[in-house]
A and B are shown apart, each in its own frame.
Chain A
Amino acid sequence: MDNKSQVSGGKKQSQWTLRNIILIALIAIFTGIIFWGAGFLYTALTVALTPIGMAPFANDLLMGLWCMAGPLTGFIIRTFGSAFLGEFLGAAVEVFLGGQWGAGAFISGLVQGIGSELGFALTGYKRYDWLGLNASIFTTVVITFAWDMIKNGYNKFGLPLLLALFITRYISTFIFGGVLTKMIVKLLDRSKAINL
């Protein structure tokens, strides 16, 4: 339960120890499987929204959920690349569980991973607080949205719809990637399970 292991040596020591790599992968798989259990929600939302042509909202409403592994691993292993790896592996889990995205999940994982990593990078891997988290949320939303403009044809929608989708996504990412992540990290912090 103690996390000082390996890390405590010199300050220069790399965080990329075998244990931390396994830890990132495990957190990604746990979250991946939890979301997968919520997959029915996406399908149900899509079914409900398709007749009125609003199905993309299902995607944007749940976007935050799919982008949670990144901020979590980024916060727990505070080093370059951990958010990216966590997010990417989280998406890869869905592929192997036979999610409905196929190779698309690999690509989304890449894009979302870059999105959440960028935020931590912008703050120089120094701000593990609201600012760092919000930076990560911001970059995640912008990058994934830009990606959906291309991949899911959002660029062909009119401005009002586009704006509505963007705001939906921002709120979702803020709630799941931000508020929920913050609450989890706070619990971890208080439990002293990990030296934050």
Chain B
Amino acid sequence: MNPGMKLLLVMIIALEISFTQSLTVNIILIGVSLIYILLQRVHMKALFGLLFWPLFPALGLFVSQWLYGSAGIHFAWILFTRIYAYVFLGATFTLTSSITDLSLTLEQDFRLPAKFAYGVLAAFNLMPKITEEIRIIKTSALMRGQALHFWSPKLYFKSILSSIQWSQNLAEAMTSHGFVEDQARTHYKVIRITAMDWILFVGLLVIVQALLYFLRY
């Protein structure tokens, strides 16, 4: 499915289940997403992470609602499954789509100005370097006798200085590579939203509406 449509669908459904209260639908969404993910052959380790880490917030919400909430154990279960529904819905997108394709379709089909699509993409592609840079900032501070933590203004200050320099370098390099803001470009890989995408998008959305309407428990 077109990554833009997929992201939109995931976000709409996630938004909807935040407002509605159906345990059954949450479980169905988890199940369907899980099957979809499994069909795409993901690593067991990734799958384990998906199951394990959300356990903490989910359990936390569950217990507090159970002890202090006025809506009983059923509602606590809804909150519990809601967390997992978010996670698995999100995973159907993140584990199976590339950010590059997302940018391409946002530019070509969703009429997002190219400078946003490629500017943000270029920044995301630097993610490994950013992790490295944060480590360098922390280590060099240690060598001057200061430990920087996530609450230290200087850690952010140094990060922002790097961001300023890097954004300048990247923008210059992209410009030198022929990129001109607000100018039409050709497209080697044309990503279209196909009839099939629309059918899937609308179809799945309708099904979720129907489920939410009929399965109130």
Contacts and interface: CB of A to CB of B under 8 A. Distances in A.
Given A55-B57, A55-B63, A100 B87 contact: yes
Contact of B91 (A42, A56, A102): A102
Q: Looking at A3, A21, A150, A152, which has the most chain B CB atoms within 10 Å of its CB? A: A21
Contacts, number: 223
Q: Looking at A68, A93, A98, which has the most chain B CB atoms within 10 Å of its CB? A: A98
Given A18-B174, A156-B71, A31 B167 contact: no
A163 interface: no
Q: Is the interface of B mostly helix, strand, loop or mixed?
A: helix
A102 B124 contact: no
A62 B96 CA distance: 30
A47 B94 CA distance: 27
Interface in A41-62: 42-43, 46-47, 49-56, 58-59
Interface of A: 1, 3, 5, 16-23, 25-31, 33-35, 37-38, 42-43, 46-47, 49-56, 58-59, 65, 68, 72, 76, 89, 93, 95-96, 98-107, 110, 150-153, 156-158, 161, 176, 180, 183-184, 187-188, 191, 193-194
Interface of B: 7, 10-11, 14-15, 18-19, 46, 49-50, 53-54, 56-57, 59-61, 63-71, 75, 78-79, 82-83, 86-91, 93-94, 99, 115-116, 119-120, 122-124, 126-127, 130-131, 133-134, 150-151, 153-157, 159-168, 170-171, 174-175, 179, 181
* Nearest 4 pairs of A and B residues by beta carbon: A55-B60, A102-B90, A102-B87, A103-B90
